[in-house]
Amino acid sequence: MWTNRQFVMRLMLLTLLLALVAAKSKISAVQEDITDYKEFKKLIRTKNNVLALYVSSAKEAAAELKVFREAADVIRGTGTMLYVDCSNQERKKLCKKLKVAPSSYILRHYKDGDYHKDYDRQLTAESMVTFMRDPTGDLPWEEDPAGADVLHFNDGASFSKHVRKDIRPMLVMFHVPWCGFCKRMKPDYSKAATELKTHGGYLLAAMNVERQENAPVRKLFNLTGFPTLIYFENGKMRFTYEGENTKDALVAFMLNPNVKPTPKPKEPDWSADTNSEIVHLTTQGFEAVLKDEKSALVMFYAPWCGHCKHMKPEYEKAALEMKQKNVPGMLAALDATKETAIGEKYKVKGYPTVKYFSYGVYKFDVNVREVSKIVEFMIDPKEPPPPPPPEKNWEDEEGSTEVIFPNDETFRTILKRKKHALVMFYAPWCGHCKHTKPEFTAAANALQDDPRVALVAIDCTKYVELCAKYNVRGYPTFIYFSYLKTTLEYKGGRSSKDFIAYMKNPPSPNEHSEL
């Protein structure tokens, strides 16, 4: 049994250990241990979403570093945050190698193993988090100067707090980033917000409900289509705005919301088309209709979805062609925004989603959207093969360590030191390159003991300028270098024996002409 003193000591020790673990966890959100160029390259190759903060000194950029750490804690697992202090003796060479010379700080993003862009958003933790979640996405609406007069709610808590305290008339646009209608409406909505500001007492607001933290709001207002505009007055929801999505219509509505706005032209309900060969399903009849059908495609759609609208006429034509050619099977459709239970049951997350059923049993998803492809599939419905696994980078393939893979900065340094170097300029997608890679690798392994010789590979999809410099117009292209001063296009065979024989007896300086 422990004495009281032992128990207290152990409790204190446990508290200390927990504190140390918490501190360590907090620090590890930002990676700070990269000191040389090789480590850096390995990091951006293995982590495909990296934001790097380079500072002239920790003191000079203390405020930026604080924000950077806050963002890192949130996006842990989604992206990698790298901190490099260029005043540190160990990291000076790295900054110089990367040609980074921050006057105070520089933020750079790296994607899929290469430089992507300089960070161009607001210097806030929230903006950094948004950027890291979608680094190739559009500038968030709340950061667009044109939308400065729109009140943006970040989450349900800020929205609820505002509604409780501010009783002014307010129109809220609930939107998602991928919605085409939302994107087209934003400019008019922003202009309307600016004009209403001059009248005073009116608010146009917006909320991105795609964010996970806003899922409760989406559920509360039963938001199934976008954009959805809801009008609030005296802190209470009044009704959904059904007018035109133009600046003038929005302003007119806010100035006099009791006048019924001119409704938007309503699209005809697809299921109401009596001439259609498509079978329109509902939750009630879903299983009953499909259970006797040996072969059925079901298109899960949303009425507002642009891709669905493009597919509809193709789907209709395919059903008609199947009827004319006596192709067995059924083409069906279901509005997943109305029949939400069925959409959820079959895990429909985007539109259109096309699923194949046999006797009412779901079999697999199908990616067909054109008449010919739809009919072809229904003639012989087979499960599509799984996508092939992504190919490894050549430099990561087993046995390729003796091939040198420089970048545009290290290319000259490496080749200046080699008396005989054969460079293969290639593209990863090139079939001839794929066939040649193992032969080139085998030759590099066979010649590894000769320090004067190097077999080098340059990916022209990454290093476009370098390939253009040497007039590379097709793949693969082979060029022989001697101390980088003399160059000669290699036109020999592409087997390992050919490469080895050439490098063991390369042309003398008098035998070649410079490129």
Residues annotated as catalytic are 305, 308, 430, 433
What are φ and ψ of residue 151, in 5° steps? -85, 115
Contact between residue 243 and residue 171 where contact means Cβ atoms under 8 Å apart: no
DSSP secondary structure code for residue 495 in this structure: S
Distance CA 346, CA 326 (A): 29
Structure tokens of 123?
């210097």
- Give the end-to-end CA distance of the chain in Å, rounded to a whole number: 85
Q: Tokens 């146009």 identify what position? A: 204
Residues 6+ apart with CB under 8 A from 297: 329, 330, 331, 332, 354, 355, 356, 357, 366, 368, 374, 377, 378
Candidates 489, 335, 513, 512; CA nearest to 424 is: 489
Distance CA 356, CA 374 (A): 11
Burial class, 323, CB count within 10 angstroms (exposed 0-12 / middle 13-18 / buried 19+): exposed
Structure tokens of 367?
């990616």
Distance CA 482, CA 471 (A): 18
Distance CA 88, CA 34 (A): 12
Contact between residue 247 and residue 192 where contact means Cβ atoms under 8 Å apart: yes
Residues 6+ apart with CB under 8 A from 278: 270, 315, 316, 319, 331, 332, 333
Distance CA 106, CA 86 (A): 11
Residues 6+ apart with CB under 8 A from 195: 247, 251
**∠ Cα 386 390 395 (to 5°):** 160
Q: Which amino acid is at 355?
A: K
Q: Is the four-CA dihedral 392, 397, 403, 408 of positive or negative sign?
A: positive
